[in-house]
Amino acid sequence: MPYRLEKDFQDLIASNSNIQKDIRSVLEMDYKDFKLLREDTYINGITADFTLFEKNKVRAIIECKGGAIGGASMCAVSVKFFNTNIFLKTI
């Protein structure tokens, strides 16, 4: 499995402009308004693998999982973020 470790997958996203371009495309984000921030910390010390900003506002949070995942607890945390408007964070 090529991306067994989460860090390997994170490094790929952080270093590969084609992957970043594809992410922007899926989210219909313009390059000049796009910022990808790695290891971004939110309320209660929770850290997202990546936060995508558009015009200095959170547009998406990316949580990476390697090939050897053991759970999906970050999904529940992300839902809580959305329901409590934590996505309103700006840079």
How many domains is the chain partitioned into structurally?
A: 1
Q: What is the mean pLDDT of the chain?
A: 80
In a domain, 63, yes or no: yes
In a domain, 1, yes or no: no
Provide the β-strand partners of residue 35.
53
Distance between CA atoms of residues 12 and 58, nearest Å: 21
Residue 53: CB atoms within 10 A of its CB come to 19
Using the predicted structure, report yes or no on whether residue 67 has a pLDDT greater than 90.
Answer: no
Q: Which residue has the higher pLDDT, 66 or 51?
A: 51
Domain of residue 43, residue span: 6-88
Predicted confidence at residue 44, as pLDDT, reads: 74
Across the range 61-82, mean pLDDT stands at: 70
In a domain, 74, yes or no: yes
Distance between CA atoms of residues 8 and 41, nearest Å: 20
Predicted confidence at residue 22, as pLDDT, reads: 93
Highest mean pLDDT among 2-11, 32-41, 74-83: 32-41
Using the predicted structure, report yes or no on whether residue 85 has a pLDDT greater than 80.
Answer: no
